[in-house]
Each structure stands twice: as C-alpha cells, then as structure tokens.
Chain A
C-alpha cells in the first residue's frame, strides 16, 4: 500500500497577503479559449520555487484576483508560468495582457502532487481539459529525474482535437521511448486519427502496474470522481490516487473560509488530496 503524504509547502512570500509585481514576458494562445502567461519578477533577483501542484493568486489590478495552478517547470525558478481558460472577468482581462504588462502574484500556496512518494513506482497522470496544466510540472519534474520512476503514463482527455493543450510538447513527449502518452477526445473530425471517447476509457488498457502505481488526477470534479472509480476497478489502491481540487479561493491561507470543502480548506489543506480524504465528500450536494 502506498501512503501519499502531500509535500511540504515551499517558501512563500514574507507577507502572504501582499502581492508581488511580476512582468509578463510572453502570452501564448493554447486554444481558442486557453492561454499561457510567462512572467518574471519585477525584482529580477527573486527566484520562484514551487512544488508541482501548487497555485498562485494572480491579481489583475483594478479587476480582481483569482487562484491559478502553476503550469511551468519547477526546475526553472526564474520563470513563472500559468495556463488558464477564459471563464470570467479576471481571466478575460488576463488574456488581453501583453509583454511588459505587470500583475500581482501571491504564492505559491497549498500542497503539491506526491512526486516524492512516487519514486520507484509507475506513475499515471490522468488529466481532463485544462487539468493538464497543473500536471505539467509533474512531467517536467519526472523527466528531469527520469531514472527515479517506473513507467510514466499520461492519459489526457479533452473535448475535441482543437482543445488539446500543449500540443507541440505532447507530440515531443510522445516521441520519447520513456513516456507513454495517450490522448482522447469526445468527438473528432476526419482529420483526427487518435482515440475517441472519455478519458476513463483509456484506464483499463493503459500500460502500468496497478499494484505499484501512484496516480495523479486533475480535471473537473465529475471527471475525477469517475476516474478514481475506474482506477480502483483496475486495481489501484484508493490511497495511491491523488486529486487536485478547485474552489473559489480568496485569501489562500485558510482564513476566509471561501474554499471550505467538508472539513477541509482547499487552499491550505489542498489543493492536492488523496482520494480517501475526499471520497465521502465528492458526491455530496451543496458543498
């Protein structure tokens, strides 16, 4: 049985409520509604260390502040990278940022993916839609220390071929002999020659040892619920399944209570949890 202990929090800013200015270096369009921001601290000596799975509060001055997971490489602390979908006023304003613009950053906050606990095990990452972004740092980390892990498998599902995130990177990883990448879409046109169907469909045939695997799942809650069930059907222990939760986080340090989920605060006790920590709450209404 694999016991997943969430990683220790990395060092945060001195005052967790004080945003630090970061300058946009590059904005990349990932799909019609998704984009990636690359940022550098205005104070150029600052290195931004984080654990894969952690998030930041990004503040667009005069518009608002929202939590977004870090999607960049933890081994490149000079560059802060976030990927998000346009869903509201703040992300819409964020999508219009240009190189040179400044925004506020608080963080990093929360627990990370169980990257250390996965050493010596097969690792299965299951991502749905924008859920690939918080898992990308795990892949960077594992590729940097590839010999520490068994098979590394990514199962990724999204709506259509146009919605595939980090497409070029996925193609590059797919060409490697030490990564197994499987992508599926809900529907495809005649140009799509890959898998069609929901991401849970990939689990029964994915090449990993269920009894010695650590799995990390990120996507909408319904997707994670059914993925956890399918992983268990395959033989993965419940406590070898880690999920990343999303809620309306405001303070990000467990004071305001906006992100309470059952007995936990997503911002400080999560966002990464083990499945047994969440299982009884996932199917609850009005929570």
Chain B
C-alpha cells in the first residue's frame, strides 16, 4: 500500500516538490473516497480542506432554485478541487459532487496554512501552484462566457 507522501508525489499538482516538502504535507493529508452522487462540499460551508483527485469525476455546481443544479465545471484525475481554503472567509463558493466513485487525498487547509507560514519556501511553492490552477480556470471561464461556439 502506498504512503500518503507517495500518493502526493504521483499527483500532477505536486510534480517537482522536494521529498521533504511532500513529507511535511503528508502530515496534513488523509485518504478519502466519495461514492457516485455524494456531495463533497456545499456552497457556504467552511472550506477547511482541498482535494487532490486521484481517480474519479467531480462536478462543480451552482444551484438555481428555478433550474436546479447547473454544472459549471468538471474535475478529474490529477486535478485539484478547491482553493477557498487559501483565502478568508474560507467558505466554499460552489457545490462539488462526485459523479462517479472518486478517490482523493484530502489536505487539511488549516494545517497546511500553518506549515506554509512556518516554511515560506513551501508557502511560495503552494501559492505558485495554486496561482497556475486559478489562472487556468480563469482563462477557461473567460472562454466559457464568450460563448465560444456561437
């Protein structure tokens, strides 16, 4: 069975991280499984965690009282789910639902924030990686609102 730092090492998001940083972060990590249809988090709940998806399919949704849930993005293997743990007020902006059985590593946000405060090199690395994720998502959202296919 693989250790948590081995699982983190295999994940795209942590590519290039030093073993000592992975080991440090593994202290904040837990293995989690979500069944198909299970909500991982809901809009407005405390965002005290993020997930590195190892396997599965997660949809990000906004619930509209008139139209029901509207899927706005999907995440899969090697993606990272959640960045609200990084910024106050640490609350989820959307609902996240496992579309099929999803295996992930849950990273405790509070624990990680403390480690990043204590080790600024790790903090910078994490910020760099999340900035890339955010920039990618922003770019995709811009294209999405363009109604690209009209």
A and B co-occur in one complex = yes
Q: What 0/1 pattern do residues 23 to 64 of B give for CB contact below 8 A with A?
A: 000000000000000000000000000000000010110000
Chain A residues with CB below 8 A from B60, complex form = 196
B42 to chain A, nearest CB (A): 15
Residue B91 lies at the interface, judged by CB distance under 8 Å to chain A? no
Contact, CB under 8 Å: B73 / A197: yes
A164 to chain B, nearest CB (A): 11
Residue A6 lies at the interface, judged by CB distance under 8 Å to chain B? no
Residue B116 lies at the interface, judged by CB distance under 8 Å to chain A? no
Contact, CB under 8 Å: B148 / A198: yes
**Total CB contacts across the A-B interface at under 8 A:** 73
Contact, CB under 8 Å: A186 / B147: yes
Contact, CB under 8 Å: A200 / B140: yes
11 contacts between A and B (CB under 8 A): A157-B149, A158-B149, A159-B147, A186-B144, A187-B70, A193-B57, A196-B72, A196-B74, A197-B73, A200-B140, A223-B143
| CB closest residue in chain A, given B79 | A205
Residue A41 lies at the interface, judged by CB distance under 8 Å to chain B? no
Contact, CB under 8 Å: B71 / A223: no
Contact, CB under 8 Å: B143 / A198: yes
Contact, CB under 8 Å: B76 / A193: no
Among the listed A192, A194, A226, which residue makes an inter-chain contact with B143, where contact means beta carbons less than 8 Å apart?
A: A226
Contact, CB under 8 Å: A201 / B149: no
Chain B residues with CB below 8 A from A205, complex form = 76, 78
**A residues apposed to B, CB below 8 Å:** 128-131, 157-159, 163, 184, 186-190, 192-201, 205, 219-220, 222-223, 226
Among the listed B67, B73, B147, B149, which residue makes an inter-chain contact with A196, where contact means beta carbons less than 8 Å apart?
A: B73
The A contact surface, by secondary structure, is mixed
Chain B residues with CB below 8 A from A130, complex form = 149
Most buried by A among B71, B76, B78: B71
A197 and B144 contact, Cβ closer than 8 Å, known pairs A188-B70, A220-B150: yes
A220 to chain B, nearest CB (A): 6
11 other A-B residue contacts (CB within 8 Å) besides A158-B149, A198-B140, A198-B148: A128-B148, A129-B148, A159-B149, A159-B150, A186-B144, A187-B72, A189-B68, A189-B69, A193-B57, A198-B144, A220-B150
Q: What 0/1 pattern do residues 82 to 119 of B give for CB contact below 8 A with A?
A: 00000000000000000110000000000000000000
